[in-house]
Amino acid sequence: MLRLIRTESFKLSRKLKSWLGPQLILVLVLIAFPLSIDISQYDLDKFYFSIIVISLMMTAFISTEGMFEEDFEDGSLEQEFLLEQDFYKIVLSKMLIYVFFIGIPIALIGSLFLITNGADFDDLPKVFSILCLSNILLFNLFSFGNALSIDKGAMLGVLTSLPLALPVIILLGRAVRTIQYGEGFFSIIILMSGISLIVLAIMPIVISAALKTHID
């Protein structure tokens, strides 16, 4: 497992656009969105959390779009499958590396965006933890969609992933309201943590099965 994690971290670190690109896109979206709205007509403080939710969903999908496709096209995915009997470990290690290299940084960027636009600085740990857990869920769900659509076009991945992502968006909205109103945060964070652990344990199995259909 450690060998796979080191291998995946090395491969992703060499793909600059794969891990830096989503972060830059998120920054551009967060900067451009308020500039495109007439501040005199809207109270942007009420919309910043919604901006974060939409931006995170878009960035998570972009981040996972090439998670398996490049390895599939150059044949390395098939080689890894032949060398490593437990394909679950391959998918899990890749997922953990993507969350570490991309998910955590974009969660930090989103948290800092909220703090710099009027959110309470004391809420920074709460916002960061919620965004990290949301990214774990979104990365797993979008990875499943992309695993299904490796050689069938990105549209299939979108159609498969978005319905699965809707409960995550609803849960994220509920978590955001607990921060805004200061009630029920710890109960929602425990719920999100439990769901994240379950998804992180189960989804690599499902993704592995989807990938094997392309390899076989």
* Higher pLDDT among residues 155 and 167, named by residue: 167
The residues, ordered by sequence, that sit 6+ positions from 120 with a Cβ below 8 Å of its Cβ are: none
> What is the per-residue pLDDT across 37-74, written as a single tens digit (0 to 9) for each?
665 555 555 677 778 888 888 888 888 887 887 777 77
pLDDT > 90: percent of the chain: 17
Q: What is the mean pLDDT of residues 126-146?
A: 90
For 19, the token pair is 């891990």
Neighbours of 35 (CB within 10 A): 7
Q: Which helix (H) or strand (E) holds 92?
A: helix 87-98
- The pLDDT score that the predictor gives to residue 196 is 92
Closest Cα partner for 159 from 176, 170, 169, 144? 144
Q: For all residues of the chain together, what is the average pLDDT?
A: 81
pLDDT mean over 135-141? 92
What is the per-residue pLDDT for 39? Answer: 56
Statement: residue 184 has pLDDT above 90: no
CA distance 4 to 37: 46
pLDDT at 70: 76
Least confident of 23-27, 56-60, 74-78, 210-214: 74-78
Task: Please say if the pLDDT value at position 153 is more than 80.
Answer: no
Please give the Cα distance from 94 to 78 (Å, whole number): 15
